[in-house]
Structure 1
Amino acid sequence: MAQPRNYTQEYIQLKEQIIKHYYKPALQYYAEQVPARPGDRKASYLWPLCALFEAYQVGALVETGAKDVEQTFGIIRKYYDPRAPAAGYASYPPELGGGDRFYDDNQWIGITAMRQYETSRDPKWLKAATGIYRFMMTGLDTVSGGGLYWQEGDTRTKNTCSNGPGILLALQLYKATGNRGYLKTATSLYQWVNHWLRTPLGLYYDHLNVKEQRVDKRVYSYNTGTMLEANVLFYEITRNATYLTAAQKMAADADTYFLKNQELKDNFWFNAVLLRGFLRLWRVDGDARYLEAFRAAIDHAIAHKTPQGLIGKDGRSQNLVPQGGMLELLAQMAVLQKQGVLK
C-alpha cells in the first residue's frame, strides 16, 4: 500500500521553488512568468500576490515561525494607490508605472487580512480590510439593480468574481465589528448575484454585461467557491437553515462539475477558492467527502511536476497565479493532515 503524501513537505518544497524561480531579490518583487515571455514587465501584477498572500496565511499554520505573510504584505503595500475616490491597490506598482485598479484583487487582499485579524486580533489587519471595503463600495451603483463592477472606471460588466468576494469581506467585517451596515451590503450583493448570475444547476456564471443585459455563461470554480462560503457564513450569522441547505446542494453540484475524474477542472488558484468554501461547510456539517475528492485531484496534479519543481505541464511558461493556488491547496491539505482529518 502506497504511503500517504506528506503535504507539509510538499508545501515547503513548492514554496522553495516559487521563491527560487519567481522572487527577484534585487528588485524586491516577484516575476509574473517562468520562464519570462517577451513583453513581460519587470514585476508581477497584483493578482499573483493575492494568491501567495492567502497561501502563506494558511501555510503559517503548518510552518511555525514563518514570516511569509508579513513579507508578502510588505510587497503588496508597494501596489498601494491613494488616488480618489478611495485608496486601494493598483494592478501594478505605482513606482514602476502603476496600473488599473480591480475590485476583486483588492477584495482577495481584504479577505486574507480579515483571516489574519481573526487569528491575531492585530488591528492593522482590520484597518487594511476596512480600507479595502471603502474602495470596493466606490464600485457599487443601482444600474441593473445593484451589484459591483469588476474594474474601476469600466462600467461594462458586473462579475461574480467582484460580488462574491465582496459578500465575504462584508460578512467578515460584520462578524468582527457588529456593524449592521456590513450585513446590509452583504445581503444586497448576495441577492443581486443570485438574481443575475446563478445557473439552473446552482453554480455561477461569470458576469453580466450591464449595457446589453447579457450574461456570460462561463462557469469557474472560484465563483462557486465564494458563493458557497458566503452561504455558510450567512448560516453561521443568522442560523437560517435555508443558507445551509443551499450550501450543501451547491457543494454536491460543484463536486460533480469541478472534481470529476479526480482532476482539477481549471486554474489551481480558482480551485483553492472553491476549497475554502468546502472547508467552511465541512466545519459546520462535518461531511469530509468533498475534502477527500479534492485530495485525490490535488494528488493527481502534484504527480506531474516540471523539471523546475513547479506544478503544471512541462514546456509551458508557468504563471505565478496557479503556483500560488497550488501552494494554498497544499497548505490546506497539510493543515487537515495535521489535524488528523486526512491520513
Structure 2
Amino acid sequence: MKNKLKSIRTNIPAWALFVLLLTANAAAAQQTGYAQEYRLLKEQIKKNYYQPGANYYMEQAPARPGDRKASYLWPLCALFEAYQVGAVLEKNTRDFEHTFEIIRKYYDKRAPAAGYASYPPELGGGDRFYDDNQWIGITVMHQYELTKAPHWLKAGQEIYRFMMTGSDTASGGGLYWQEGHQNTKNTCSNGPGIVLALELYKATGDSAYLRTAAGVYQWVNRWLRTPEGLYYDNLNVKSHRIDKRVYSYNTGTMLEANVLFYEITRDSAYLAAAQAMAAAADNYFLRNQKLNDNFWFNAVLLRGFVHLWRVDGDRRYLEAFRGAIDHAIAHKTTQGLIGKEETSLNLVPQGGMLELLAQMALLQKQGVIR
C-alpha cells in the first residue's frame, strides 16, 4: 500500500499538488475561520480595554483625556452575552464568569428594588436603566437554560422584579427606559422585557411571567411597530409623539419574542409574524452585505435570526449575516479591533462583534454555514 501511494503521488504533476495543497489549506482555514477571529478579537479587547489592576473595563480605546475610571454598564452587557456564547464555543466559562464578577460591582440595592446601576457605586454610582438590566437578565437565563444552576435563575428573577418597577398604565402599559424619568417608553426596554419574561416562564411555568410578556407585547405592537414590520425607537408618554428611528436590536428582540411565543403556545400566527419580520429586517439592515447598524445592535438581531432558524430551518438570513460579517472583519484597525479607523473606539460595538463571531463560529462548527 505504501508503494502504491508513493506511485500515485509521483504521478501527480507538481502544479496539481500545489493546487491540492492550497485547496486543503483553504478548506481548513474556512472551517476554523470564525473561531480564530473570535479568539483574536477577544485578545485585542482585553489588551485595549481591560484594566487588570482595577478589574474594570474602559469605555474607549485608546483612552481619551477625561475618560472615567471604568466603563458604563452597557459595554459589559455586550461582553457578557458574547462570552456566554463564547463559553459554549470554547467549553470554558472563565471569561463569562469573570465578566459577571465585574458586573456585580455595578449592583445597587437602593429602593424600590435592587438592580444594576449604569456606573459602579464604589466609583460614584449612576442612574439605573431598565434595558441594561434586562440584557443581563436575558444572558443569565441563557446560562440557566444550559446549566440549571439555581443562582442564575435567582439573578434573572431579581432583575425581573426591578424591571417591573418601571411598569405603569400610562399610555396603556409598557415599560419605561430609565428609572425616575417617566418620559419615554422604548422598544429597547420593552422588547428585551418580553424576552426575559418568556425565558422565566419557560424556566418556572409561572403564568405571571407569561401574562407580563403578553401585555407588553401588545403594547409594543400598538405603539411602535412600523408599517414594514420593524420597530420605532420610543413613545413619549405625555405627548404621544413617536421617535421613528429604527434600530436592528429593537427588531431583534421582537423577532425573538415572536419565536418564543410560538414555542410556548404553538400558535402559528407568531411564527408567521417572526418570518415576515425577518424578511423585512434582512432587507432593511443587511443591504449590500453590510452591517448597516452598530455591531452590537446587529448581534441582538442575529440572536433572533438564530432562534428562528432553530424553529423553521431556513438558513438564508444566517448566510446574509455571514456575508456582512465577512465584510466587517476584512476592515481591522491598527489596534486589531474591527470597524472604521477612528481616534477612539467604543467597547460596545467591539463586544457586539465578539458575539457575532462567536455565533458564526458555532454555526460553522455545526455545519449550518460555510
TM-score class, shorter-chain normalisation, is over 0.9
User: Of 112, 121, 129, which residue of structure 1 is paired with 2:156?
Assistant: 129
Of 325, 331, 348, the match for 1:321? 348
Alignment partners' CA distance in 2, 1:108 and 1:40: 24
Measure how far apart 1:316 and its partner are: 3.2
Offset of residue 61 of structure 1: 1.5
Q: Which AA in structure 2 matches 1:79?
A: Y
Alignment of 1:118-267 (within 5 A): 118-267=145-294
- Separation (CA, whole Å) in 2 of partners of 1:327 and 1:198: 29
Larger helix proportion of the pair: 2
SS in 2 for 1:218: strand
**Match 1:278 to one of 305, 308, 327:** 305
Q: Hey, what's the Cα distance between the residues in 2 that align with 1:44 and 1:305?
A: 23
Distance 1:218 1:324 in 2: 23
- 2:183 partner SS: strand
Aligned counterparts of 2:269 and 2:317: Cα–Cα separation in 1: 21
Offset at 1:129?
0.4
> 1:312, CA displacement in angstroms?
1.1
The alpha-carbon deviation at position 38 of structure 1 amounts to: 2.8
Percentage of identical aligned residues: 77
Partner of 1:268: 295
- Give the whole-Å Cα distance in 2 for the aligned partners of 1:309 and 1:250: 34
Task: In structure 2, give the amino acid aligned to 1:271.
Answer: N
Give the whole-Å Cα distance in 2 for the aligned partners of 1:66 and 1:58: 10
Distance 2:257 2:249 in 1: 12
Q: Which amino acid aligns with 1:265?
A: N
1:115 matched to which residue of 2?
Answer: 142
CA distance in 1, matches of 2:95, 2:177: 28
Structure whose CA Rg is larger: 2
Q: Which residue does 1:67 correspond to in 2?
A: 94
> Which residue of structure 2 aligns with residue 9 of structure 1?
36
The separation in 2 between residues aligned to 1:65 and 1:235, in whole angstroms, is 32
Q: Which runs of 5+ in 1 are unaligned?
A: none
Alignment partner, residue 324 of structure 2: 297
Deviation at 1:63, TM superposition (A): 1.3
TM (norm. structure 1) is 0.99
Q: Offset at 1:62?
A: 1.6
Alignment of 1:21-36 (within 5 A): 21-36=48-63
Aligned to 2:15: none
Q: CA deviation at 1:84?
A: 0.1
Corresponding letter in the other structure for 1:198: R
Partner Cα separation in structure 2 for residue 310 and residue 279 of structure 1: 25
Which consecutive unaligned segments of at least 5 residues does structure 2 have? 1-22
In structure 2, what residue type is equivalent to 1:239?
R
Show CA shifts across 1:202-234 (max 9, x none): 000000011111000000000000000000000
Aligned to 1:79: 106
CA RMSD of aligned residues (A): 0.9
CA distance, structure 2, for counterparts of residue 171 and residue 64 of structure 1: 26
Distance 1:8 1:66 in 2: 16
- SS of alignment partner, residue 38 of structure 1: coil
Offset of residue 64 of structure 1 = 2.3
What SS does structure 2 have at the residue aligned with 1:150?
coil
Aligned equivalents of 1:122, 1:229: Cα separation in 2: 24
Task: Give CA deviations for 1:262-311 in whole Å, capped at 9, x if unaligned.
Answer: 00011000000000000010000000000000000000000000011000
- Give the aligned partner of residue 45 of structure 1: 72
Aligned length: 343
Does the Cα contact within 8 Å between 2:84 and 2:93 map onto a contact in 1? no
Amino acid at match of 2:352: G
One-letter identity of the residue aligned with 2:256: E
Post-superposition Cα deviations, 1:83-130, rounded to whole Å, max 9, x if no partner, equal: 000000000000000000000000000000000000000000000000
Partner of 2:118: 91
CA apart distance, 1:159? 0.1
Q: Equivalents in 2 of 1:247, 1:38: separation in Å?
A: 45
Bigger mean CA deviation after superposition, 123-132 or 314-323: 314-323
Supply the AA of the counterpart residue of 2:150: P
How much does 1:66 deviate? 4.2
